[in-house]
Structure 1
Amino acid sequence: GLSAMLVLVALCLAMRGLALHGHAEKITRSHPSNGSRSCVYPGTCDPPMAKFSRVIRGPRAGQQWNINGGFCGSFSLQQSALAHGAWISQDLVRKANKDSPGPHHMHGDSTLGYEVMPINVAFTAKALKLTYDEWDYTSPKPQASAYLQWVKQHLTKGNPIVFFPICKGDPHRCYPGSCPNGGQVDHVEPIFGIFSNYSLDDPKVYPDDVLLHASDQDYAPYYRKMNSLPDSLEMEGNCKNAQPGFGKNEMYPCFDETVTYGLAVTGMEMAANFTLPVSLVVDTDEEPNVRMFAPPSKIFGNVSVDLESVSPGTPCNLYRYNSTETFPSSPEIVVSFNATHNQWVYADPIAFLSNSATYYKAACDSSPR
Structure 2
Amino acid sequence: MTIFNTLPNYQAAVAKFTESMANDADKATQNALYAEAMQTLGSDLTETLTNSNKETLEGMFASQHANKGMTATEIKFFNDIAKNVGTKNPLLLPEETVNEVFEDLVSEHPLLGAINFKNAGLRLKALVAETSGAAGWDNVFTDIKNQLDAVFTEEDFSQSKLTAFVVIPKDALQFGASWIKQFVIAQIGEAFAVALEAAVVNGDGNKKPIGLTRNLNNGTTSNGVTTFNPKTATLNLTTLNPQNAPTLLQPAMSTLSISEKGKSVAIGGSVIMLVNPSDYYALEAKFTALNVNGVYTFTLPFGIQVMQSVAVTAGTAVIFVAKRYDAYVGGGTEIKEFDQTLALDDLNLYTAKAYYFGKPKDNNVAVIATLVAQGA
Q: TM-score if structure 1 supplies the norm length?
A: 0.25
Pair member with larger Rg: 2
Q: Which structure is higher in helix share?
A: 2
Q: TM-score if structure 2 supplies the norm length?
A: 0.24
